[in-house]
Amino acid sequence: MSSLQFSSVLLDISNQLAQKQLEDMKFLCRDFVGKRALENITSGIQLFQVLTEQGRLGADKTEFLSKLLKDIHRSDLSDKLDNFESGAGVSDGQPDAAERAKLDIATDVIAENLGRTWRKLGRTLGVTDVKLESISRRHTDLEETARELLKEWRKSRGAKARASDLVAALRACKLNLTADKVEDSLPTP
């Protein structure tokens, strides 16, 4: 794993940590990180820098951080870190061109029609509450919020993202009219 990829994973993990989770991690590190240093840490990235300086964290040494994440009940983030270390990584790949075109069409239709139910769709798609809150803080326009939600979902799914998954999630949320509009907009095979 390159240094840039590793830093990108750490940044992503940091962005998904709630303040309480960061405080819990700091508490777990209190025996080997000085009290003054802990008081000055306000983000996951700062904690990761201290752990790196102490030799407890590196691109080829992620066990300690993985355990910390599991201890604060963020196994999803621990798995992300473990997957990157094993070389599997979060897929940077994209779906093929035809599927990307379908996803772009579906994104446009959903953004135009979703409205205030964007959080429900996000949860159905498996987007974390932390990520949903982050999207909510960054966007006030409902259409832009929906676009950002779908962008995050596509990024997390990588090459596995499918328009059919979006339609299924819409139907699971009882948003059948929007699901029908998406299906009607997609090219037929």
58: which strand partners? 61
Q: Could you identify the residue written with the tokens 């080997």?
A: 32
Mean pLDDT of the 146-165 span: 90
Q: What are the CA-CA distances from residue 56 to residues 29, 53, 69, 183 (Å)?
A: 11, 8, 14, 50
**Domains detected in the chain:** 3-85 (1.10.533.10), 97-185 (1.10.533.10)
> pLDDT (tens digit, 9 = 90+) per residue, 62-93?
889 999 999 999 888 888 887 776 554 444 46
pTM of the complete model: 0.51
74-78, long-range: CB < 8 A, 24+ apart: 74/16, 74/17, 74/21, 76/128, 77/13, 77/16, 77/17
